[in-house]
Chain A
Amino acid sequence: MGNDDAAPGDKLQRLLELWDDMRDQGREPTAEELCADCPELLDELKQRIAALKATNWLEKPHNNNNVHGQ
């Protein structure tokens, strides 16, 4: 998927953006699907996706978050 001539870092970034965009559209792809033609990036992409999921709460601006620690 994407340009095969791209540097691994650029390609990883594009795959991450694609994952994010598709998730926004309600069609979250798996890392395996995204890395079908670049299995060497699979583990790294999985980690990056896990990071975005775990920090999803940062998508809400600071003022709009629920208040914790009360």
Chain B
Amino acid sequence: MGTSDVVAGRLQMWLDRLQAGDESARDELITHSCERLRSLARKMMRKYRRLQRWEETDDIFQDAVLRLHRSLQDLKPESVRQFFGLAATQIRRTLIDFARRHFGPEGIGAQEFVGFEAAEVAADGPVDLQQWAEFYEVLDNLPAEERAVVDLLWFEGLTQAEAAIALGVSVSTIRRTWYSARYFLYKALRHGQ
């Protein structure tokens, strides 16, 4: 059994304890997943170089961990995959808030903001922080299955076959969900739906 299997096994044990009502399991979960959470935050911040000038990754990470801790009071993920999905959501929301704080109309970085007309996303994807913030908001509104597939294929860079194994579904299902997610994003980002 590899190290990652051992870690996943421990996380699952704390998730089971949390499900059973053991509130101390929340701290254990976060403490023992810190390294992966920090890595996830770092990955997600790579799109936010401008924000990095104003905030350190640690600030984003700490804020996201606080949100995750709070959300675990109400939500009890059943699996390690669900737990990291929830963590990714909290990091996304933190980034959106930080981007708005700094690059919104009253933000300290507002003078650097290059106008955004909420219209089309360029062929290479969002072109500035505001568009990225909007993109992450739309991601947040994806149906759960679609969001999970985007997390695995895009954020984590898994192949469709690997994502199918991770989610316990067929490659065909992954492909259908991936197309569906992209159609949803296309409509939402292009037409503001």
Contact = CB atoms under 8 A, between A and B. Distances in A.
Contacts of A64: 157
B190 A54 contact: yes
B179 interface: yes
Contact of A56 (B43, B50, B123): B123
A24 to B, nearest CB: 12
Interface string A47-70: 110111011111001111111111
B183 A51 contact: yes
Contact of A68 (B128, B154, B157): B128
Given A67-B49, A69-B50, A62 B129 contact: no
A16 to B, nearest CB: 6
A69 B182 contact: no
A69 B156 CA distance: 21
Nearest to B186: A51
A2 to B, nearest CB: 14
Nearest to B114: A69
B187 A51 contact: yes
26 contacts: A13-B176, A13-B179, A48-B183, A51-B179, A51-B186, A54-B123, A56-B123, A57-B123, A57-B125, A58-B150, A61-B155, A61-B156, A62-B44, A62-B47, A62-B154, A63-B157, A64-B157, A65-B124, A66-B124, A67-B46, A67-B49, A68-B124, A68-B126, A69-B49, A69-B50, A69-B126
Interface of A: 13, 16-17, 47-48, 50-52, 54-58, 61-70
Interface of B: 43-44, 46-51, 121, 123-129, 132, 150, 153-157, 175-176, 179, 182-183, 185-187, 190
